[in-house]
Amino acid sequence: MTTGDIDVVIVDSGGANLASLQFALERLGARSAVSSDADTVRRAPRVLLPGVGSAQDAMSRLRATGLDRVLPQLRQPVLGICLGMQLLYERSGEGDTPCLGIVPASVQRLVPARGLPVPHMGWNKVHPRCADPLLEGLVDGEYLYFVHGYAAPVTADAVAVTEHGAAFTAVVRRRNFSGTQFHPERSGSAGARILDNFLRQATCS
């Protein structure tokens, strides 16, 4: 498959479960390809950066392929999912790892408390703070599915927030870069809507 035939390239950062994302894109009628090749990613109409595992692991894999330098320079729509969203930030508290540095702020470990176990796993209500193309058609308080032990603070780039003990960023946006802390591919029809919104974003090429 050449890059011209596809709607989105999924960056393979060593996470094990890309299949659930590919199936979700298939259900939306989108053509996707998985790649860790810098040129393929550079030429992609849209880029998805998923991630399961640790920040150190994912960043060392991105460095090994030169994607740590390619990704911040992309002009097309980019969506990071879960760990992929966290990698967009400057640093992660997970192993004190330098990340891609696209979004200012550092990702920090969630603090467990009574009734608030960590990792945080479950369906949370998400509240938009402003309009964003990714959130089109979603109501305030939509439930989306989260699985994570680290989270990004609420900063000026947070376009939607949720809370688990403290408030954190559920959806981030900086220029063409966006990210969701939840898994849209596992969040029922609301998640499918977000992926569909991402696929509808105009590409710059």
Partner 1 sequence: MRDGQVVKGVRFRGHAIVGGILELAARYRDEGADELVFYDITASPEGRSVDRGWVRRVAAVLDIPFCVAGGITSVAAAEAVLAAGAEKISVNSPALADPALIDRLAARFGSQCVVVGIDSETTERGYRVHALTGDPDQARDSGRETLAWVREAQDRGAGEIVLNCMASDGVRRGYDLAQLAAVRAVCQVPLVASGGAGAIQHFEAVFREAGADAALAASVFHSGTIGIGELKAALARAGVEVRP
By annotation, the residues acting in catalysis are 82, 183, 185
Judged by beta carbon, residue 45 or residue 80, the one nearer partner 1 is 80
Q: How far is the CB of 156 from partner 1 (least distance, A)?
A: 28
Q: How far is the CB of 147 from partner 1 (least distance, A)?
A: 5
For residue 16, give the DSSP letter. S
Judged by beta carbon, residue 42 or residue 109, the one nearer partner 1 is 109
Query: Where does this chain bind partner 1 (CB under 8 A)?
Result: 16-20, 23-24, 26-27, 52-54, 83, 112, 115, 117-119, 121-123, 143, 145, 147-149, 183, 185-189, 191-192
Judged by beta carbon, residue 53 or residue 66, the one nearer partner 1 is 53
Cα gap 195→190, rounded to integer Å: 9
Pairing of strands 120-128, 103-109: unpaired
Q: How far is the CB of 73 from partner 1 (least distance, A)?
A: 28
Q: Strands (DSSP E) along 44-193, which ranges?
A: 47-49, 78-81, 89-92, 97-98, 103-109, 120-128, 142-148, 150-151, 158-164, 166-174, 177-180
Say which residues have a Cβ less than 8 Å from residue 138's Cβ, sequence separation at least 6.
Answer: 126, 128, 190, 193, 194
